[in-house]
Amino acid sequence: MDLSKAAQDELVLKAQAVRLNAYCPYSGFAVGAALLAESGRIYLGANCESVSFGGTICAERAALTSAVSAGERSFTALAVAADKPVSPCGICRQLLFEFGDIIVLSASAQGEAVKITTLSALLPAAFSEF
Ligand code: THU
C-alpha cells in the first residue's frame, strides 16, 4: 500500500477519536471515519442515526460530505474505526467511488488497522457511468 505506516497510524487514531462523537442511540454501534485528501488535509465523520432508521448517515459518508463541502475532490485513504473492524457499507462504497480508488483501513476502537484494502477491491465492477 502506498501509504506510510505513520500516515496509516495517524488516520486510524483520528478515526478512533472522532468515533467517540457518534450519535448512535438505536444501534449502540459507534463508528468513526478519517478521510485523507490529496491536499493532505484529513476530514472526520461519525455515524449519526435517526429514529427513522433509513435517515442514518454512516461515519464514512459524514467524512466524505465534509470533505466535498470544503472543496476536496481527490482522496488517498480512509480509516474506519468501530468496536470491531468493519468495512464501509455498500451505499458508502458507491458514494466514495465517485472520487476514485482509495486505500481503506479498518480498525477496532483501539489499536492498529487490522485490515487494509482498496475501494476497488471492495466494490468490483462498480457502476460508474450511464
Ligand atoms: N455504520 C457506519 O457508520 N459505518 C459502517 O461502515 C457500518 C455501519 C453505522 C450505521 C449505523 O449507525 C450503525 O453503524 C449500525 O449499522
User: Per-residue pLDDT tens for 25-61?
Assistant: 999 999 999 999 999 999 999 999 999 999 999 999 9
Q: Residue 4: helix, strand or coil by DSSP?
A: coil
Q: What CATH number is associated with residue 85?
A: 3.40.140.10
Contact 115, 105 (CB under 8 A): yes
Contact 8, 79 (CB under 8 A): yes
Domain that residue 46 falls in: 5-121
pTM over 0.85: yes
Residue indicated by cell numbers 461515519: 59
| Domain contains 130 | no
| Domain contains 106 | yes
pLDDT at position 1 is 64
| Domain contains 129 | no
80 CB within 6 A, ligand 1:
yes
Contact 76, 96 (CB under 8 A): no
24 CB within 6 A, ligand 1:
yes
What is the spatial distance between Cα 26 and Cα 1, in angstroms, rounded to a whole number? 36
Q: Please state the domain count of the chain.
A: 1
